[in-house]
Amino acid sequence: MQHKENSLVLIDASRLIIEGMACAGADSFIGYPITPANLLYLYASKRFPVMLPAPDEITTLQWMAGLSAAGKLPITATSFPGFALMIESINMAFMMELPMVIILAQRLGPATGTATCGAQGDLLLLRGLISGGHQIPVICLSDFADCWNLSAKAVHIANKYRTPVVIVTSKEMVMTQRSFDINLLEEINPVNRKFYNSEQAYIPYNPENNLIPEFLPLGNQKHQVRISASTHDNKGILQHTSDQAMENTIRLDRKIIYNLDEFTYYDLIEEKKADTIIVSYDITAASAREARELLKKKNINVSLLIVKTLIPVPNIYYEILARYNKIIIAEENVNGQLGKILFGEHKHKNIINIGSIGKMVSPLEIIKEVNV
């Protein structure tokens, strides 16, 4: 993006996230402020065509669902205590297949925890978010470029696959200021919203080949629209466990996985002779990148995988990791959540988790494990 004037500024990632999403076509923001998502809320209040302050987080998600059903692309930003209140309604939006994006800025838990301390403690929650074990896309931001590009992509994913999408980030990402050249930002394409426009009666949950049904907003003058959060057939009619309804419920699970290749995002640096790979995400990605650079200066070659599509887990991650004898996973929690998502509860000798709470994982902690 070319800005005429001098383009070196001191900014925080919250600004890039909100601007990126607005450029991508998100048109409304509903929210209730919570640390560390307050900057996102503040910027959203200036930037989105529609900004509505909700009295709580359940209302937030319900209003978003209403706006989405009426044809808008709504966004919110929160942290665990608010996110917890949203969960039933996120399930609703998932079942109804309503596009929206929820930004989850992680902070130290459990419960209220420490509002002004970062953490990466919500990944397991995100994996178990939907009753039935279905998955909604969870996209994680590892640096300022991601805050811009992937936040915009999240809006596209929500629209294209008719689903709520979670962007996961954390306090140290969204509240830290950095010197940054805004000329480095790539142009963002806005979503091209297409609604069902055939003359034939609209069947709201009748999937196309990619398992996604076409969308049509409530209130349109042409076709009746039926939307339901209860078990339903492809017409949106409540059913107990009819074949058609079960088919629809299974489709909801399959549609995300089926289209996963189209929203698989990661950074990979592979060193030819490397035996070890460092895996990280979110704020710890910076430490992992720095650790790799410091090691390289000492002629120690390690590979690096920064995962950005966290849920569902793309198969390519396993293909990459299978090439290494030692896997080091670094994240800011004490139970190795990404490790558990990737490899389950079973402890593998060649998989090492580096964790931390109350402070970021430092590059030196990662280097120590590489050198063991």
Partner 1 sequence: MKNILNTQELPFCKGCGHDLIAKSTAAALEKSGCSPLDIILVTDIGCHGIIDTSFNTHTIHGLHGRSVSLGVGISLGLNNSDKKVIVFTGDGGATIGLQHIMEAARLNINMTIVIHNNMLYGMTGGQTSGLTPQGFNTTTAPSGNTFEQYDICGLAHTAGASYISRILGIGNIADKLAEAINTNGCSVVEVIELCPGYGMKLNPKRKLAEILESSGKSEGIWTNNRLPFAVDIKEEPTSLLKNLKAIEIIDKPQLKSSYTVLLSGSAGEGVQTAANILAITAVSSGYHVTQKGSYPVTVGVGFSTAEIIISPNEILYHGMTIPDIAIITSQDGLNHSKKRINLMNNGILMIDSSLSAPQTGARVYNIDFRSIGVKSASMFSLFYFSEISKILPHAAIFKAIEQHGDAHKIPLDKIKEIFRFDVL
Q: Which parts of 31-90 interact with partner 1 (CB under 8 A)? A: 35, 43, 46-52, 54-56, 58-59, 62-72, 88-89
223-231, 296-304, 319-327, 333-341 -> range binding partner 1 (CB under 8 A)? 223-231
β-pair partners for 248: none
Q: Which residue has the tokens 């070659």?
A: 301
User: From the CB of 337, what's the least distance to partner 1, in Å?
Assistant: 20
What is the rounded distance in angstroms from the CA atom of residue 186 to the CA atom of residue 259?
25
- Left, alpha or beta for 112 (phi > 0: left; psi -120 to 50: alpha)? alpha
Site string for partner 1, 348-367 (x = CB under 8 A): -----------xx-xx----
- Using CB under 8 A as the binding rule, whether residue 197 contacts partner 1 is answered as no
What is the rounded distance in angstroms from the CA atom of residue 65 to the CA atom of residue 148?
25
> Are 324 and 277 contacting, i.e. CB atoms less than 8 angstroms apart?
yes
Site string for partner 1, 90-119 (x = CB under 8 A): --x---x------------------xx---
Q: How far from chain centre, in Å, is Cα 226?
A: 28
Q: Select 9 or 350, whichever has its Cβ closest to partner 1.
A: 9
- Using CB under 8 A as the binding rule, whether residue 162 contacts partner 1 is answered as no
Q: Select 125 or 225, whichever has its Cβ closest to partner 1.
A: 225
Q: How far from chain centre, in Å, is Cα 101?
A: 8
Among 125, 237, 300, 316, binds partner 1 (CB under 8 A): 237
> Are 182 and 47 contacting, i.e. CB atoms less than 8 angstroms apart?
no
Residue type, 131: S
101-109, 120-128, 247-255, 282-290 -> range binding partner 1 (CB under 8 A)? 282-290
User: From the CB of 193, what's the least distance to partner 1, in Å?
Assistant: 14
Rg (the chain; Cα; Å)? 21
- Using CB under 8 A as the binding rule, whether residue 176 contacts partner 1 is answered as yes
- Using CB under 8 A as the binding rule, whether residue 8 contacts partner 1 is answered as yes
Q: Select 294 or 313, whichever has its Cβ closest to partner 1.
A: 294
User: From the CB of 348, what's the least distance to partner 1, in Å?
Assistant: 27
User: From the CB of 345, what's the least distance to partner 1, in Å?
Assistant: 30
Among 186, 262, 293, 347, binds partner 1 (CB under 8 A): 293
What is the rounded distance in angstroms from the CA atom of residue 197 to the CA atom of residue 120?
43
> Are 77 and 64 contacting, i.e. CB atoms less than 8 angstroms apart?
no
Structure tokens at 140: 């994680």
Q: Select 304 or 338, whichever has its Cβ closest to partner 1.
A: 304
Helices (H), 25-143: 38-47, 57-69, 80-96, 123-127
5-13, 253-261, 297-305, 335-343 -> range binding partner 1 (CB under 8 A)? 5-13
Report 241-280 residues binding partner 1 (CB under 8 A). Answer: none
Alpha carbon separation from 52 to 4, 29, 48, 116, 259 (Å, rounded)? 33, 6, 10, 25, 32
- Using CB under 8 A as the binding rule, whether residue 323 contacts partner 1 is answered as no
What is the rounded distance in angstroms from the CA atom of residue 338 to the CA atom of residue 318?
13
Q: Select 35 or 206, whichever has its Cβ closest to partner 1.
A: 35
DSSP state of 114: B
- Using CB under 8 A as the binding rule, whether residue 145 contacts partner 1 is answered as no
